[in-house]
Every structure is written in C-alpha cells, then in structure tokens.
Amino acid sequence: MPFDDLPFPAAKFGEPRTAPVVDPSLIAALSAEFAQRAGEHDAAASFPFENFDRLADEGILALVTPEAAGGKGGGLGDALAVVNGIARGEPSTALVLVLQYVIHNQLWRGSAWPEALRDRIARSAATDGALVNILRVEPELGTPHRGGLPATMARKVPGGWRISGTKIYSTGVPALSWLGVWARTDDAEPLVGTWVVPRGNGLAEQGIEVRETWNHIGMRASGSHEVVFHDVFVPDDHAGELRPPAGWAAPDAVATAWMSALFSGVYDGIARAARDWLIGFLQARRPTGLGGASLATVPRLQEALGGIEALLLTNRILLRSLSAAVDGGTPPSQSDALLVKYTVTNNAIDTVARALEVTGNPGLSRDNPLERHHRDVLCARVHAPQNDMILAGAGRAALSPQSP
C-alpha cells in the first residue's frame, strides 16, 4: 500500500498506530458506493439523503461522540480518515460530516454547553443518525472570522428566547436535526453565542423558512441554502457558549486544528479522486500516434503525474502530523494549524489543475468526473479563514517577540 494511502493514525506521531475506529475497507466501500451517485446529485444539486442513511447505519455519524454517550469515541485521526475517504466518492457528504465532527468534538470540551443538551445531541447522533450544524454566515455580515456582530437577534422571553434573523450557506440544512443559530442578545452590551433549535414535525410550523438558494458551481449536493428564523422559540436550556464579543477572540488551538485538518481532508480527498481518474485515463487512452501504446508510456505525462504525487504526499504528511499531534495531546499553534490548511488546500487545487492541463478536452467534458472535481476543489478557497487571513496571521506570529 503506498505511503500516501495509509489510514490516518489514531496514535501520537512517532508511536505505534492504534487500530482505527472505522475499518478502512468500510470507508472505501462507502466511498465507491457514493461515487456512483455523485454525478447525479451534482447535476441536480440534490441532497444525498441516502448517503447519510448508510452512514447512520454504520454508526459513523457518532464517530467522535464519547462511548459513554453511545458513540464510537474516535479522535481527529479517525475523523480525518473517514472524511478524506468519503470525499473521494462524494465530497458534499464529507463536508456535512466535517461540521458534524467539529461540533460534536466541541460539545465535550469544557462546560460551555448545558449538560442535558449536549447529551441529547450526542445520543441522537448515535441512535437516530441526527445531524447538527451551527449556522453562522449572514447576508450583511459575511463570515464572522472577519469581525462584526451577527444581525440575528435572540430576545429574552419567559422560559426561553425568541430568535429572528437570516443565515446563508447553511450546509446540510435539508437533513439537520439540530440547527445551531449563532446570534446575539438584544442587550445594550450583548452576549454572542449559539441557540440550538431542535427540528420538530416541520420547520415551517416552527417559524423556520428554508429558501433553496444554493446554486453554486461546486459542492452542489451540500444543501447550503438560506434559512430565515421568524421569531422562533428556543428554551432556556438550549443556549450555549454565551459570552461577550471580545470573548470570541481568544485562540483555541484544538478547535482550529480540528477545523483545519477536516476541511483540508475533504479537498485532499477530491484531489486524490482526480489523480485516480487521471491514472485510469492515461492507461486507457491509446492514440494512434503512439502505435498502440498508452499515454501512460509518455515521459512528459509520467513527469506530470510525478509532480501530482509530490503534492499529495506533502498533503498526507502534513495531515498525518497534525491529526497525530492533536490526538497525542500536543496541538500545534493556531498559526501552524492554519498553514496546514493553506498548504493542503492549495496543493489540492493545483493537483486538479495539473490533471486538467494534461488531459485537455476530455478533462473538461461533463462526460468525465474530472471537471466536477475541478469545480468542487475550488470551494476550498471559501472556507474561513481564507488565504489572506492565514498568511497575515502567520506573518504576525513570526514577527512576535515570542517567535524563535
């Protein structure tokens, strides 16, 4: 097995790797199954409900949930192996999984969430395959990573809160059982946090309007629609992480590492799918000018594929190191974790671009998956923090007095 296709380790880097929580052969089988439907979901921009039924059947939606709450108790290395493998088959499914894993991990770190709510969300993933996402982005605000307060308002009422506001890019909303809403209180000095809305018998009956606005060039099956909350009631015990705006500025190395590794793992998986297709194309294509030999015999094309292999090996080493460090209890600095995201996602984009360059018209044909991989991998650029923020932050870190 090539080094770059080894399962991600669940042990600290440099120590013997423990057995993965999910069998790699199961991940590969699910990825292959999902790949058969990926083109159809992309063309129709339809949500892959059947993929999540399969993942729920295998307990994969509760992968990082503690065993005490009914989950598998996996770490970042386990989550990365699943996300990366599933992304090779259907990346929108993997993107929804990233958010599930990041939030489930965050629920159990510290005491910012009410214990009963945390337990309900965790157990619902294990027993019902329930999905969760925290909806943050707004039409006027954009991404919260660039500063500013959410316009979505939480107004205190007897027994709870009333939530009103609009969220965009609400990934996975067609299938979410728990809708976390990033909002602020209506106080003169507001608190900012998350109010969790459990999905009832119908969203409309709760005052939640889903506008099916997602019409992207890539990740088209992610169901990242606009959601409007019309005075939605949320009980008191469904609010978490409420703090002054300044309290959100403190760095969280573990949370950053989880997000950097898993988002990067999705786009690395897309790039590997593109590499796999390219290899098949080069081996199968036999132009008459080569006297019956395949394109795989052409030195120039071998060199191009070698350059792709170098990019993907770099990605795998970086992701292995990052996940192993976190699982071993020694997460890197926020700046270093984000530089992994920067490097891996840019290598993934470069990989697919190189594959397109050597395949020409066949690579851009809608009859082949490479053009879909190209559209999907470009979405790596939109996940916050974006490249400019990552590089500026790394520069400031290097210039700080604490920098070696």
Tokens 């790699």 map to which residue?
Answer: 24
φ, ψ at 360 (rounded to 5°): 65, -135
Q: Which amino acid, residue 118?
A: R
* pTM for this predicted structure: 0.94
d(CA 79, CA 83): 6
Is residue 299 helix, strand or coil? helix
φ, ψ at 164 (rounded to 5°): -140, 135
Closest CA to 85 of 169, 13, 20, 129: 20
Count CB-CB contacts under 10 A for residue 382: 12
d(CA 266, CA 98): 8
User: Can you read off the two tokens belonging to residue 130?
Assistant: 């329930």
d(CA 93, CA 275): 20
Question: Could you read off the pLDDT tens digit of each residue along the chain, which spans 404 residues?
Answer: 344 554 555 444 444 446 789 999 999 999 999 999 999 999 999 999 999 999 999 999 999 999 999 999 999 999 999 999 999 999 999 999 999 999 999 998 877 899 999 999 999 999 999 999 999 999 988 677 666 899 999 999 999 999 999 999 999 999 999 999 999 999 999 999 999 999 987 788 899 999 999 999 999 999 999 999 999 999 999 999 999 998 887 789 999 999 999 999 999 999 999 999 999 999 999 999 999 999 999 999 999 999 999 999 999 999 999 999 999 999 999 999 999 999 999 999 999 999 999 999 999 999 999 999 999 999 999 999 999 999 999 999 999 877 65
Q: Where are the alpha helices (DSSP H) in 90-241?
A: 91-107, 115-128, 203-206
Count CB-CB contacts under 10 A for residue 6: 13
